[in-house]
Amino acid sequence: MNSESLITDNWEKNVLPSFNHGYFQLSIGIALRQQENFSVVSASSIEINGKEYIPDISVYPKRKVDRLHDIIKMTDMPLLAIEIISPTQGTLELMNKFDIYFEGGIKSCWLVDPLLGSVMVLNSPEKAQTFTSGEVIDEIIDMRVLIDELFK
Protein backbone atom coordinates (compact mmCIF):
# COMPACT_ATOMS: atom_id res chain seq x y z
CA MET A 1 0.00 0.00 0.00
CA ASN A 2 1.46 3.39 -0.97
CA SER A 3 1.63 6.38 1.36
CA GLU A 4 -1.16 8.22 -0.48
CA SER A 5 -3.54 5.29 0.13
CA LEU A 6 -2.61 5.25 3.80
CA ILE A 7 -3.45 8.94 4.11
CA THR A 8 -6.79 8.71 2.31
CA ASP A 9 -7.77 5.57 4.24
CA ASN A 10 -7.30 7.50 7.49
CA TRP A 11 -9.23 10.66 6.60
CA GLU A 12 -12.88 10.82 5.65
CA LYS A 13 -13.67 11.65 2.03
CA ASN A 14 -10.03 12.53 1.27
CA VAL A 15 -10.31 15.71 3.36
CA LEU A 16 -6.76 16.57 4.36
CA PRO A 17 -6.20 19.17 7.06
CA SER A 18 -4.38 22.39 6.23
CA PHE A 19 -1.53 23.90 8.25
CA ASN A 20 -3.88 26.23 10.15
CA HIS A 21 -6.32 23.38 10.77
CA GLY A 22 -3.57 21.24 12.29
CA TYR A 23 -2.18 24.16 14.27
CA PHE A 24 -5.52 25.06 15.85
CA GLN A 25 -6.41 21.41 16.43
CA LEU A 26 -3.31 21.12 18.58
CA SER A 27 -3.91 24.49 20.26
CA ILE A 28 -7.50 23.57 21.16
CA GLY A 29 -6.39 20.16 22.42
CA ILE A 30 -3.74 21.73 24.66
CA ALA A 31 -6.25 24.23 26.07
CA LEU A 32 -8.86 21.56 26.76
CA ARG A 33 -6.38 19.18 28.40
CA GLN A 34 -6.19 21.72 31.23
CA GLN A 35 -9.74 20.63 32.15
CA GLU A 36 -9.18 18.03 34.88
CA ASN A 37 -12.52 16.20 34.49
CA PHE A 38 -12.00 15.25 30.85
CA SER A 39 -9.80 13.17 28.56
CA VAL A 40 -9.13 14.94 25.26
CA VAL A 41 -8.08 13.05 22.14
CA SER A 42 -7.28 14.20 18.63
CA ALA A 43 -8.54 12.55 15.42
CA SER A 44 -9.71 9.37 17.14
CA SER A 45 -12.06 7.03 15.30
CA ILE A 46 -15.60 6.56 16.61
CA GLU A 47 -18.19 4.17 15.25
CA ILE A 48 -21.82 5.22 14.85
CA ASN A 49 -24.31 2.79 13.33
CA GLY A 50 -21.51 0.73 11.81
CA LYS A 51 -19.81 3.70 10.12
CA GLU A 52 -16.50 5.27 11.11
CA TYR A 53 -16.22 8.99 11.88
CA ILE A 54 -13.17 10.96 12.94
CA PRO A 55 -13.94 14.18 14.82
CA ASP A 56 -11.00 16.59 14.92
CA ILE A 57 -11.14 16.46 18.72
CA SER A 58 -13.17 14.22 21.03
CA VAL A 59 -13.70 14.88 24.73
CA TYR A 60 -14.54 12.00 27.07
CA PRO A 61 -15.14 11.81 30.80
CA LYS A 62 -11.74 11.41 32.49
CA ARG A 63 -10.37 7.94 31.75
CA LYS A 64 -7.11 6.18 32.32
CA VAL A 65 -4.95 5.66 29.23
CA ASP A 66 -3.73 2.09 28.82
CA ARG A 67 -0.58 2.36 26.69
CA LEU A 68 -0.41 -1.42 26.26
CA HIS A 69 -3.98 -1.90 25.01
CA ASP A 70 -5.12 0.71 22.51
CA ILE A 71 -8.69 1.08 21.28
CA ILE A 72 -8.83 1.24 17.48
CA LYS A 73 -12.47 2.33 17.13
CA MET A 74 -14.28 3.86 20.06
CA THR A 75 -17.83 2.61 20.52
CA ASP A 76 -18.30 4.72 23.67
CA MET A 77 -19.37 8.12 22.43
CA PRO A 78 -17.47 11.20 23.55
CA LEU A 79 -19.31 13.86 25.50
CA LEU A 80 -18.11 16.45 22.99
CA ALA A 81 -17.06 16.28 19.34
CA ILE A 82 -15.20 19.26 17.88
CA GLU A 83 -14.86 19.97 14.17
CA ILE A 84 -12.62 22.71 12.82
CA ILE A 85 -13.57 24.39 9.56
CA SER A 86 -10.82 24.03 6.97
CA PRO A 87 -10.55 25.29 3.39
CA THR A 88 -11.60 21.86 2.06
CA GLN A 89 -14.75 21.53 4.19
CA GLY A 90 -17.97 23.46 4.15
CA THR A 91 -20.11 24.42 7.12
CA LEU A 92 -23.10 22.45 5.82
CA GLU A 93 -21.01 19.28 5.57
CA LEU A 94 -19.92 19.65 9.20
CA MET A 95 -23.44 20.49 10.40
CA ASN A 96 -24.71 17.31 8.71
CA LYS A 97 -21.97 15.41 10.53
CA PHE A 98 -23.19 16.92 13.82
CA ASP A 99 -26.69 15.54 13.13
CA ILE A 100 -25.13 12.06 12.95
CA TYR A 101 -23.09 12.71 16.10
CA PHE A 102 -26.20 13.73 18.04
CA GLU A 103 -28.12 10.69 16.76
CA GLY A 104 -25.19 8.53 17.94
CA GLY A 105 -25.43 9.89 21.48
CA ILE A 106 -22.81 12.66 21.55
CA LYS A 107 -24.10 15.33 23.92
CA SER A 108 -22.41 18.44 22.52
CA CYS A 109 -20.67 19.56 19.32
CA TRP A 110 -18.44 22.55 18.65
CA LEU A 111 -17.86 24.11 15.27
CA VAL A 112 -14.59 26.06 15.38
CA ASP A 113 -13.84 28.70 12.75
CA PRO A 114 -10.18 29.79 12.97
CA LEU A 115 -10.67 32.49 10.31
CA LEU A 116 -13.36 34.26 12.35
CA GLY A 117 -11.97 33.22 15.74
CA SER A 118 -15.35 31.82 16.71
CA VAL A 119 -16.72 28.72 18.40
CA MET A 120 -20.33 27.63 17.88
CA VAL A 121 -21.49 25.36 20.70
CA LEU A 122 -24.38 23.10 19.75
CA ASN A 123 -26.17 21.21 22.50
CA SER A 124 -28.69 19.85 19.99
CA PRO A 125 -29.23 20.33 16.26
CA GLU A 126 -31.66 23.17 17.12
CA LYS A 127 -29.78 24.90 19.95
CA ALA A 128 -26.56 26.77 19.22
CA GLN A 129 -24.63 29.64 20.74
CA THR A 130 -21.64 31.35 19.12
CA PHE A 131 -18.71 32.74 21.11
CA THR A 132 -16.14 35.21 19.77
CA SER A 133 -14.68 36.57 23.02
CA GLY A 134 -14.50 35.84 26.73
CA GLU A 135 -15.35 32.30 27.78
CA VAL A 136 -16.73 29.49 25.69
CA ILE A 137 -19.38 27.94 27.91
CA ASP A 138 -20.79 24.48 27.31
CA GLU A 139 -23.48 23.97 29.94
CA ILE A 140 -24.36 20.42 28.85
CA ILE A 141 -20.94 19.00 29.74
CA ASP A 142 -20.08 21.70 32.30
CA MET A 143 -17.02 23.07 30.51
CA ARG A 144 -15.69 26.63 30.41
CA VAL A 145 -12.57 27.74 28.57
CA LEU A 146 -11.24 31.14 27.54
CA ILE A 147 -11.59 31.56 23.79
CA ASP A 148 -8.13 33.17 23.66
CA GLU A 149 -6.68 29.88 24.96
CA LEU A 150 -8.23 28.00 22.02
CA PHE A 151 -6.73 30.32 19.40
CA LYS A 152 -3.19 30.77 20.81
pLDDT interval class at 5 (50, 70, 90): very low
| 90-99: long-range contacts, CB 8 A cutoff, minimum separation 24 | 97/53, 98/122, 98/125, 99/125
Determine the straight-line distance between the first and last CA of the chain, rounded to whole angstroms: 37
- pLDDT at residue 74, as a whole number: 81
Please tell me the distance from the alpha carbon of residue 80 to that of residue 121, in angstroms, as a whole number: 10
Mean per-residue pLDDT for 122-142? 96
Task: Give the chain's radius of gyration (CA, Å).
Answer: 15
Q: What ranges do the domains of the chain cover? A: 17-150
What is the pTM (predicted TM-score) of this model?
A: 0.87
Say which amino acid occupies 101: Y
Position 119 pLDDT exceeds 70: yes
pLDDT in tens, 36-82: 999 999 989 999 999 999 999 999 999 888 889 888 888 899 999 99
pLDDT interval class at 18 (50, 70, 90): confident
CATH fold of 17-150 reads tt1808, chain A (3.90.1570)
